[in-house]
Amino acid sequence: MEKYYVEVKAYPTIGILLLGGVSDNSKRIPRHTTAGIAYTGLDDGIYVKTNLYLSNKRSGIINGKEVSHDAPRSPFIVIDKYKEEILQRHPEYSEISFISENKNIISGSSDAGAAAIGECIESIFEYNINIFNFENDLQKISESAGRSLYGGFTINHANGKDSLTDEILSPEAFNDFVIVGCKFSEVRKPSDVIHDNIVNHEKYAERVKNSEIRSKELEKLASNGDIKGIFEMGEKDTNEYHSMLKAVGVQIITDEMQKFIEKLIELKNDFWNAYIVTGGTNVFVAVEKNNMEKIKKVALDFGSEPVYLKVAGKPDVISKNF
C-alpha cells in the first residue's frame, strides 16, 4: 500500500427510466431526465473497489489493464482537475494514480467506477466542492454516475446542458424486495451505439418530453412508498426503450431473453414481478423476497445465470491515510 492513499467501494447501477442520448462524447450530459438505483449482492459482494494514491509516476489501472490519461472517459479527466490542490499538502509527490477493480458486476460498472473516483477525491479534498459541477465532471467518465454517487433510488434531471441528481429513496425502502439479475450473455452493445442511434427515432423528442413527466410520477410513487409502482414504471419504460432501439437498428434483447420475458409476463398471473432490461443482455426481475427462488428456477430453465441483488447505498471509504 502506498504511503498516502484512499480506498473506496462504490456500487453499480440499474436504470428505471432508461437513458438514450448524451450531449456529446466529451461532457456526456444526458439529453433527458432519467432514474435509477444502485445495487449490490445480498452479501454486499458486488462493487467497484478503487485505490487512489500519490505517486511520482502516473499510473491508472482498471481491471488489470493500464489506462491512458488521454483515453476517452479516462478517470484522469477528473483527477487532473483536482490534482494541484491535493498535491499542495504533499509537494514531494508529482502525480495521483489509481487502481480500480470490478467485483462480480453484471451491469453498470462505469457508474460505480466514476463514483468511486469521485468519493476518493471528495474524501481527501480540503476545499469545498461544488456538487453540481462535481457531478458533471464525473459524467465525463460515466453519464449516469450520479446514481452510484448518491446510492438508493435517484432521479437525474437533465436536458443535455445541465444535469443534477436528486436522492429520492434510501436502500432501506426496498428491504422487502429482491432483484434477480438474470445474465444471458457477456456480449453487450457499447453504450455509444445506443446513444448515437436512439436520437434518430421519430418519437425521440416525445420521449425526452415525457421523461420529465414520468420523473414526477416516480417521485409521487416514492412519496407514497409504492415500490411496486416504481418497478412497474421501469418495466413500461423498458418496453418503450427497446422498441425504439429495435426500430433504429439496435437489437439488445435476444431471442432467449424475449422468451424469458414472455414467461415472466405469464407468471404475473401467479405472483407480482416486474422486469427491466438496460443496455446489456441481462434481465433484471424485481420480486417480493418470498418469490425470489421461483424466478431463479425459471431463469435456470431458460439457460440464464441468476444472481440475487438488493438496492445499495452510497460509496464507502474502506481505508485512508492522508
pLDDT of residue 3: 92
pLDDT of residue 127: 77
Q: Which of 134, 131, 311 is nearest to 231 (CA)?
A: 311
pLDDT digit string, tens, across residues 312-321: 999 999 999 9
pLDDT of residue 21: 96
pLDDT of residue 43: 97
Which is higher by pLDDT, 285 or 24? 285
pLDDT digit string, tens, across residues 284-298: 999 999 999 999 999
The Cα–Cα gap between 242 and 80 comes to 37
The Cα–Cα gap between 118 and 81 comes to 12
Which is higher by pLDDT, 186 or 99? 99
User: pLDDT class for 283, splitting at 50, 70, 90?
Assistant: very high
Q: Is 224 helix (H, G, I), strand (E, B) or coil?
A: coil
pLDDT digit string, tens, across residues 67-84: 988 888 999 999 999 999
Q: What is the mean predicted confidence (pLDDT) over 232-236?
A: 98
- The answer on pLDDT for 307 being more than 90 is yes
User: pLDDT class for 142, splitting at 50, 70, 90?
Assistant: very high
Tell me the percentage of the chain whose pLDDT exceeds 70.
99
Tell me the percentage of the chain whose pLDDT exceeds 90.
89
Q: What is the mean predicted confidence (pLDDT) over 258-272?
A: 98
Single pTM value for the model: 0.95
Burial level of 87, CB count in 10 A (0-12/13-18/19+)?
Answer: middle
How high does pLDDT run on average in the chain? 95
For residue 86, what is the enclosing H or E element? Answer: helix 76-87
- The answer on pLDDT for 176 being more than 70 is yes
The Cα–Cα gap between 220 and 230 comes to 10
Residue 178 contacts residue 287 (beta carbons within 8 Å): yes
Q: What is the mean predicted confidence (pLDDT) over 15-38?
A: 95
Q: Is 9 helix (H, G, I), strand (E, B) or coil?
A: strand
Class of domain 5-321: alpha beta
pLDDT of residue 1: 63
Helix axes 204-223, 227-247, angle to 10 degrees: 170
- The answer on pLDDT for 131 being more than 90 is no
Task: Give 103's DSSP letter.
Answer: E
User: pLDDT class for 129, splitting at 50, 70, 90?
Assistant: confident
